[in-house]
Amino acid sequence: MTWRPAFWLVALAVLVVDQATKIWALHSLVPGEPHEVIGQFLQIQLTFNSGAAFSLGADYTWIVTLVMVAITIGLIWYARRARPGLAVALFGIALGGALGNLIDRLFREPGFARGHVVDMINYNGWFIGNVADIAIVGVAIVMLVVTFMGRQLLVPAEPEHAEGEDSDVVSDGAVVLDGAAANDVATPDADEADAPSPVTPEAGVPRV
Nearest C-alpha neighbor of 125 from the set 179, 195, 45: 45
The question of whether 178 is a catalytic residue gets the answer no
The Cα 208–Cα 194 span in angstroms is 24
Q: Based on the number of CB atoms within 10 Å of its own CB, is 12 exposed (0-12), middle (13-18) or buried (19 or more)?
A: middle
Return the bridge partners of 44, or none: 35, 121
For residue 162, CA distances in Å to 46, 55, 165, 167, 172 come to 56, 47, 5, 11, 18
Whether the link from the prior residue into 31 is cis, omega within 30° of 0, is: no
For residue 38, CA distances in Å to 34, 41, 44, 121 come to 12, 6, 10, 12
Identify the active-site residue in 133, 166, 168, 172. Answer: 133
Identify the active-site residue in 59, 119, 172, 191. Answer: 119
The question of whether 168 is a catalytic residue gets the answer no
Catalytic residue IDs: 119, 133
